[in-house]
Amino acid sequence: MNRDPLTAKEFWLLSTLGFATLFGVWSAVALSGFVPSQFLPTPWGVVERMVELTAKPFAGYTIQQHLVSSVGRYLLGFGLAAAIGVPLGLLMGWFRWLDDVVSPLFEAVRFIAPIAWVPFAALWFGTGIGGPTLIIFMGAFPPALINAYRGAKFVEPRFIEAAQTLGASNWRIIVEVLLPASVPSIVAGLRISAGLGWQSLVGAELIVASSGIGYLMVKGQASISTSTVMAGMIAIGSVGIIIDVLLRRMEATINRRRGR
Amino acid sequence: MAARRRFGRTQIAVATVLGTFALWYVLTATGVISAARFASPREVWAALTQISVQGYADAKLWQHILQSCKLVLMGFLAAIAVGVPLGLAMGWSKRAEAYINPIFLLLRPIPPLAWIPLAIVWLGLGDAAKVMVIFVAAFVPSVINTYTGVRALEPYLVEAAAMLGAKRWTFIREVLVPGAAPHIFTGLRLSLQASWTTLVAGELVGALHGLGQVLNAASQDIFPAMILVGMIFVGVCGGAMTWLLGAIEKRSMPWRTS
């Protein structure tokens, strides 16, 4: 397409300028004294606060301990969503009656934002590990199910017919034909699940948790410590990036092995 | 796959929904599920009439719905008013992309919900904080998808327009925007969904009115029937808005058949 040409030098110059604008405006406003530093700390103030949080407990724990408890919940909720969503999706892709029974219920529940499960999560499972886990599950479940289902639905009919001709049982068809054939779709779904699950975790921890990064941020908010809140945002963003990179790697590896 | 089908899809769907209701009724009536943990259909109906007629959490149902929809629309519209032009600019000009992308790369990984505490510190528990968070949530998908839409524009369209001597504004109006429209609408749909989730979360953290506040109050009162009513309307409103956007999408792109 006919876009304005750009040399590598110009590109780096503009990109650096972009970074500089963000941090420059931020620092300038923070230093100008228009906004009290309690409401807008300087960028280095946030970094200092972050380092401080690694040593000094805030809201009960240090920031690493909060991270560990967040990640633990996350893995549990995401793991459950994958462990239930993927097999159910495959089964729905194979058994028409199951599809017909589950789909209307699933469609009815899907429009409810995962975060709206917070009251029931708290009521049923409390604020420890159970409540937040339910919300992560609700966020991560739909893409896991939908992609496994689509994967199973779009398997080459020839493969299924061949397996049927050779007398494979339903079980063997699902495990040995549908599952391998829909791996790319499943992995793509899990990547979406992972992202949504992480988002839901943050929401859950803001409301129904007594530890974790979200909880740290709420406590920071309550004591009007903007630097703590921002440190939490950075931690959440960083873990989000790590999760995404890991899953992208996994996806690439799997696709490469399958010769795509 | 299944060769014979004795029942149609709709019949099974209706039967499933009815069956679920029957099961729900039986389980709650017999006390298998305790009333403190889940509500019976009758209690939900009672809660629905209560909130519609007398009100709950300081307002009637329609007022809560109106409040939530108003905030979502404000944040969403503000986000697309900034996001779509920005996406167009980033898609069209490499300079704009090089300049804006770094800022974007830094802010994008932060989930919208993580902005809630910051918004509250800055703007308090009122409407402004919610609009800010919804703005952040809706902004990212609208920029990214608009950008993708421009990048996916067929080069021959651009060249044809250039050859025919289209002026800058004519080009934007007649080629750039319609060409990117399918992607823009995908972005808007994602933005809208993100807006709803964020709003509900924001209201759960603290609000005076709104559906999230209904959930919050019901949760504190341990009132499962009202929690269910709140969840149902979160779903209904989210669904209705998505549907409305779909209808707008269809009308604004009459050249698309499907």
Interface predicted TM-score (ipTM) of this complex, two decimals: 0.86
Whether residue A52 is contained in a domain is answered as no
* Other Cβ atoms within 10 Å of A103 Cβ, number: 16
Does the pTM of the predicted model rise above 0.90?
no
Tell me which chain A residue has its CA closest to the CA of residue B155: A1
Rounded to whole angstroms, how far apart are CA atoms A195 and B188? 19
The residue to which tokens 């300028």 are assigned: A17
Residue whose C-alpha is closest to residue B67's, from B174, B203, B239, B181: B203
pLDDT of residue A1: 44
Does domain B59-252 fall into CATH 1.10.3720.10?
yes
Q: What is the pLDDT of residues A43-57, one digit of tens each?
A: 999 999 999 999 889
Q: What is the pLDDT of residues A240-259, one digit of tens each?
A: 999 999 999 988 888 888 76
Residue A190 scores a pLDDT above 90: yes
* Cα dihedral A25/A29/A31/A33 (nearest 10): 170
Rounded to whole angstroms, how far apart are CA atoms A222 and A60? 14
Whether residue A246 is contained in a domain is answered as yes
Mean pLDDT, chain A, rounded, equals 89
pLDDT of residue A60: 85
Q: What are phi and psi of A36, to 5 degrees?
A: -60, 145
Q: Are the beta carbons of A238 and B109 closer than 8 angstroms? A: yes
Residue A3 is given by DSSP the state P
Q: Are the beta carbons of A213 and A232 closer than 8 angstroms? A: yes
Whether residue A222 is contained in a domain is answered as no
* Other Cβ atoms within 10 Å of B2 Cβ, number: 10
Whether residue A34 is contained in a domain is answered as no
State the nearest Cα–Cα gap between B254 and chain A, in angstroms: 26
Residue A100 scores a pLDDT above 90: no
Q: At what angle do helices A63-94 and A183-207 cross, to 10 degrees?
A: 140
Say whether residue B215 is in contact with chain A using an 8 A CB cutoff. Answer: yes
Residue whose C-alpha is closest to residue B30's, from B38, B49, B135: B38
Say whether residue B116 is in contact with chain A using an 8 A CB cutoff. Answer: yes
Rounded to whole angstroms, how far apart are CA atoms B9 and A100? 6
Say whether residue B197 is in contact with chain A using an 8 A CB cutoff. Answer: yes
What is the torsional sign of CA A97, A98, A101, A106? negative
- Residue A253 belongs to domain with CATH number: 1.10.3720.10
Say whether residue A165 is in contact with chain B using an 8 A CB cutoff. Answer: no
Q: Are the beta carbons of A212 and A73 closer than 8 angstroms? A: yes
Mutate to test the interface with A, among B34, B44, B110, B213 (most CBs of A within 10 A): B110
pLDDT of residue A260: 55
Distances (CA, A) of B81 to B42, B190, B204: 45, 15, 27
Rounded to whole angstroms, how far apart are CA atoms B251 and B132? 30
Say whether residue B156 is in contact with chain A using an 8 A CB cutoff. Answer: no
The interface residues of chain B toward chain A in range 25-44, judged by CB-CB distance below 8 A, are 37
**Do A18 and B151 lie within an 8 Å CB cutoff?**
no
pLDDT of residue B231: 93
* Cα dihedral B216/B217/B220/B226 (nearest 10): -90
Across the interface, of B98, B215, B224, the residue whose CB is closest to A116 is: B215
Whether residue A193 is contained in a domain is answered as yes
- Copy the structure tokens of residue B82: 């900034």
Residue A192 scores a pLDDT above 80: yes
Structural domain including A175 reads: 69-208+238-257
Whether residue A146 is contained in a domain is answered as yes
pLDDT of residue B253: 81
Rounded to whole angstroms, how far apart are CA atoms A117 and B44? 16
Q: What is the pLDDT of residues A61-88, one digit of tens each?
A: 999 999 999 999 999 999 999 999 999 9
Whether residue A64 is contained in a domain is answered as no
Rounded to whole angstroms, how far apart are CA atoms A61 and A57? 4
State the nearest Cα–Cα gap between B158 and chain A, in angstroms: 7
Long-range contacts of A167-175 (CB under 8 A, 24+ apart): A170/A94, A170/A95, A173/A94, A174/A90, A174/A91, A174/A94
Distances (CA, A) of A24 to A87, A136, B108: 50, 37, 19
Rounded to whole angstroms, how far apart are CA atoms A95 and A102? 11
The interface residues of chain A toward chain B in range 36-65, judged by CB-CB distance below 8 A, are 39
Q: What are phi and psi of B56, to 5 degrees?
A: -150, 145
How far is the first Cα of chain A from the last one, in angstroms, to the nearest whole number?
A: 27
What percent of chain A shows pLDDT beyond 90?
A: 43
**Do A4 and B95 lie within an 8 Å CB cutoff?**
yes
Across the interface, of A94, A100, A234, the residue whose CB is closest to B9 is: A100
Residue A223 scores a pLDDT above 70: yes
Domains: count for chain A: 1
Residue A110 scores a pLDDT above 90: no
| Intervals of chain B under pLDDT 50 | 1-3
Q: What are phi and psi of B207, to 5 degrees?
A: -165, 165
Tell me which chain B residue has its CA closest to the CA of residue A39: B122
Q: Are the beta carbons of B68 and B207 closer than 8 angstroms? A: no
